[in-house]
Amino acid sequence: MPELPEVENVRLTLQNILPKGSRFKNVQLNRPDLRFPFPDKLAEKLKGQTLLDIRRRAKYLVFETEKYFLISHLGMTGSWRALEAAETHDHLVWEFENAPTLVFNDPRRFGFISLYEKSVTPSHFVDLGPEPLSDDFHADYLFQVSRKKNTPLKSFLLDQKTVAGLGNIYVCEALFMSGLKPTRKAQSLKQVESVRLVKAIKEILKQAIKAGGSTIRDYKNAEGKSGEFQQRFRVYGREGENCRKCRKPIRMIRQSGRSTFWCSQCQK
């Protein structure tokens, strides 16, 4: 599933395709649903609306018009692109009066689209923690919220209530960079370790965004380009390979149904 750096790169490339002020001309639905049904009267509501901004919150894209927030989640295989030729699994088509036609394609249909009037806070955002690259996410905050958490450190960081947008790849990489064992209890985190961990999370995310995100299978941004950060993985997906720091083999364990990659020598 695309994580924060991938979604951020989709947002950045969408901004290149759709300038602010693009006006919806027509909305075409090629099926009634994705993971959930499309919003009621979506085409009718969006027609004539002007795109004011494209933002990101956690792993969600947020398209803002005069009246609405349109929320897009990519799911496992969802992608946005400018229409050049129709493809199988093109489920949603946006035509604009003064911009290229935009298409949402999702072979596995785990993505979804939601529509909210701007006077309403989107339900997806109600329980989200701070953005990891914002000033609200800092060492004191992380240390305090970890005090009564008896969950493993990795699970704690994947909880979107703790911090919004982190996923399996970048939590594994940040824990390695900060030298922290993923199975440790969150409440065992020390103040100095919180400083190190927050710094690592911010640094890993910035590196990944600059590299265009990570393409493990089929992720591409809205301009059709794959990410390159997977070439820099220190632990993720490297089970049995030598740690680039200490040369010990990278280990893999399962935590809450997810693969966790780590170095037993470098992470304590």
Would you name the residues annotated as active-site residues? 2-3, 59, 258
Q: How far apart are CA 60 and CA 136, in angstroms?
A: 19
Element spanning 225, H or E: none
Nearest CA among 116, 217, 128, 236 for reference residue 175: 236
CA–CA distance, 194 with 219 (Å, rounded to integer): 31
Q: Please, what is the Cα angle at 232 between 17 and 58, to 5 degrees?
A: 50
Which 3 state secondary structure label does DSSP give 259? Answer: strand
Tokens of 139: 């060492």
Alpha carbon distance 267, 163 (integer Å): 21
* Residue 154, SS3 per DSSP: helix
Amino acid code (one letter) for 151: T
d(CA 132, CA 139): 11
